[in-house]
Structure 1
Amino acid sequence: MASSSASSGAGAGEPGPGASDLLRTVPRGIAQVDLQTNLWTGLVFIVALFVGGWQFGVFGLLGTVVATLTALALGVSWRDNVSLGLEGFCGTLIGVSLVLYLNVRWMTVVLVIFGAIAGSVLTAALNVLLKPYRLPTLTAPFCVITTVMVVGGPSFARVWDRHAGTAPPSAADPGTALGWGELWQGTFSGVGQVFFQNQWYVGVIFLIGLCVAGWRTGLVALVSSLVGLLTGWVLGAQAADLGAGLYGYNSVLTGIALCGTFVSVTRLSALYALVGVVAAAGLTAGIGNLFAVVGGHTLTWPFVLVTWVFLAAVPMYARIARA
């Protein structure tokens, strides 16, 4: 997601990618969930997904491959978009989220395939609509596709049969008293929750992948997760939810986006990013409550909305510049 503009008529006259090129694109697509193009970061992320559960690795790869091939087949620019993984990351999240919500079965496979295809089309549409404003699509296509599927799912018996429960951890363990264990585990889990992983050790693997891309990126992710968690604690969020990283992951993505990826780093812009990180954590509860009637699927909506607003405002600020 380092860039997300597709040129008109993209793909025309470009040499076709070879098998090795396509293989390298898949991990880059997974790395782009966290706004990275680094091949090795993507490979570490794949390991993290499989550590979290084989189903997350398999369905994440399925979504990435389908979305990437869809964009390539429809003629999206290989050089400017596909090769950088920009057409795969929403497919990754669609695959991981749907297997989490709907469990492992053939209907989930079908939905991931069609969801990834639809996500690829929506990515292209948003690129066209947002290009005049220099706004990236971010994970908005994933948010739209997954929200539609989980909201509509209960109407279809073959979709919703044996679906997984999605109640937050606080439903079984209420209380706002934050212990040391929830603090440090929640900080690492916030990094992993970007991929719907709530085990702290999986979050550590994802953090290692981000550090492979650059130590500053890893530091921003870790600090952003902690700030998101502390924001939720100050406001009185449930400790079990904080310990699961539910208030950190949108802050992680927002921090990475606003501190170096889309905004040039200065002392002032770092404070600007910090405000965005806090806002994303605060909006997490708002989006969750808004969607409570359909299961409270917050997804990465807070990251998308906050980052769009903060990037759209940059041209008005003489002391803050786009990267």
Structure 2
Amino acid sequence: MSRSVSWDLPVPEVARRQPVRFGYEVLRGFAQVDFMPNAACGLFFVAAVFAAGWRYGLAALLGTALGTATAYVLGVDRERIAAGLEGFNGCLVALAFAVFLGPGYVSTWLMAAGGAVVAAVLTAALANLLRPWSMPTFTLPFCLMASVVTVAAPGFQRVWHEGSSLSALPRSASGDSALGAGEVVHAFFADVGQIFLMPQWYVGLLFLLGIFVADWFAGLTACLGSVVGIVTAWGLGAPASDVAEGLLGYNAVLVAMALGAVFLERGVAALLYALVGAAASTVLTVAVTSFFAPFGGHTLTWPYILTTLFFLAAVPSFPRLRRS
């Protein structure tokens, strides 16, 4: 967490430091998508999204900056802003709109900007609602915004375009479930990249490097989560193409990190608990996909939210586990 600027400094000195501090907060907002309040990690994440496409990178930067700026305007606690907690949902909202609505339209950019601002309001609302249970907001603001917009978008001619991404209708599993070595490697990194809706293996690699730069143990849990997601999906006979694209394992990565390295005290028991949660989220991913598909919705990180919420709620019943 960055050190606050002293307001006792001369006004020109304060003004000079403000853009630098805001830049660090935006980078931490990027990194907080994977729980890391670390600007160096955020630099890797920015590079990863731009590697997937410059318009995606620009959308993610816009969303993070607007979410952070909105929090400033609304007077949100400065420590939350400094840690990047007010920017990561805006990042995901803007990026999701670019991916699902097509990045080449003015309407998409207007929706992305407006969505990032609204996500900041939703973050505050959910933080207040969840505070009595000591639960974080997770990526709930992002999921709520993205779900509403993707379901509603086809009803608005100026929002829905030929470049918009349609979700597939529910179908029985089909295709070869055998995974080749190349598909396993691609899936391992794509599981990390799909957290940002990016399936490219090299994008996932950059994200993973950023996590290791911030926290080696969190990087380890991300790797284990990806492995569990792959093994679970393969063991249940999921199509190899879906596994290789990271569509079934990215929630497992988030759950493994959340339970194994972030919200619980670290240890063997917490790590094993996290891996069970990762496997459960892989199954839930398919269920959520089938639930949303008829409405034109997307899976997003709903499986991660639901799994982590229930697994954290169960912790007081397990003496070997403690909230961090």
Instruction: Identify whether the pair has TM-score above 0.5, normalized to the shorter chain.
Output: yes
Residue 129 of structure 1 deviates from its aligned partner by 0.6
CA–CA separation in structure 1 for the residues paired with 2:111 and 2:123: 17
1:97-116, aligned counterparts within 5 Å? 97-104=96-103, 105-116=105-116
Match of 2:276 in 1: 275
Contact 1:289 1:296 (8 Å CA) reproduced: no
**SS across alignment from 2:146:** helix
Match of 2:54 in 1: 54
Runs of 5+ in structure 2 lacking a partner?
A: 2-6, 9-13
Which runs of structure 1 show a deviation greater than 6 angstroms over 4 or more consecutive aligned residues? 14-17
1:210 equivalenced with 2:240 (yes/no): no
CA–CA separation in structure 2 for the residues paired with 1:50 and 1:294: 30
Residue 237 of structure 1 deviates from its aligned partner by 1.0
1:180-195, aligned counterparts within 5 Å? 180-195=181-196
CA–CA separation in structure 2 for the residues paired with 1:102 and 1:247: 22
1:216-295, aligned counterparts within 5 Å? 216-295=217-296
Match of 1:298 in 2: 299
1:106-145, aligned counterparts within 5 Å? 106-145=106-145
Match of 1:6 in 2: none
Q: TM-score, with normalisation over the residues of structure 1?
A: 0.92
**SS across alignment from 2:89:** helix
Match of 2:88 in 1: 89
Match of 1:9 in 2: none
1:11-38 C-alpha deviation (Å, 9 max, x unpaired): xxx8887221111101100000000001
1:91-143 C-alpha deviation (Å, 9 max, x unpaired): 11011111011112110111011111111111000000101111000101000
Residue 177 of structure 1 deviates from its aligned partner by 2.3
Match of 1:10 in 2: none
Contact 1:101 1:166 (8 Å CA) reproduced: yes
**SS across alignment from 2:77:** coil
Q: Which moved more, 1:294-303 or 1:44-53?
A: 294-303
**SS across alignment from 1:159:** coil
Contact 2:151 2:297 (8 Å CA) reproduced: no
CA–CA separation in structure 2 for the residues paired with 1:280 and 1:44: 26
For the aligned residue pairs, the C-alpha RMSD in angstroms reads 2.0
1:132-171 C-alpha deviation (Å, 9 max, x unpaired): 1110001010000000000000100111122333456x99
1:254-275 C-alpha deviation (Å, 9 max, x unpaired): 1111012110112222111111
Residue 235 of structure 1 deviates from its aligned partner by 1.1
In percent, how many aligned pairs have the same letter?
43
AA of the residue aligned to 1:148: V
Q: Which moved more, 1:212-221 or 1:278-287?
A: 212-221
1:133-212, aligned counterparts within 5 Å? 133-167=133-167, 174-212=175-213
Match of 1:7 in 2: none
CA–CA separation in structure 2 for the residues paired with 1:90 and 1:209: 19
CA–CA separation in structure 2 for the residues paired with 1:94 and 1:271: 32
Residue 296 of structure 1 deviates from its aligned partner by 4.8
Match of 2:24 in 1: 24
Q: TM-score, with normalisation over the residues of structure 2?
A: 0.91
AA of the residue aligned to 1:84: A
AA of the residue aligned to 2:179: L
Residue 208 of structure 1 deviates from its aligned partner by 0.5
CA–CA separation in structure 2 for the residues paired with 1:86 and 1:213: 16
Match of 1:70 in 2: 70
CA–CA separation in structure 2 for the residues paired with 1:161 and 1:210: 35
CA–CA separation in structure 1 for the residues paired with 2:64 and 2:268: 36
AA of the residue aligned to 1:311: L
CA–CA separation in structure 1 for the residues paired with 2:142 and 2:167: 21
AA of the residue aligned to 1:101: F
CA–CA separation in structure 1 for the residues paired with 2:89 and 2:167: 24
Q: Which moved more, 1:290-299 or 1:24-33?
A: 290-299
Contact 1:220 1:259 (8 Å CA) reproduced: yes
Runs of 5+ in structure 1 lacking a partner?
A: 3-13
AA of the residue aligned to 1:188: F
CA–CA separation in structure 2 for the residues paired with 1:56 and 1:314: 38
Contact 2:167 2:293 (8 Å CA) reproduced: no
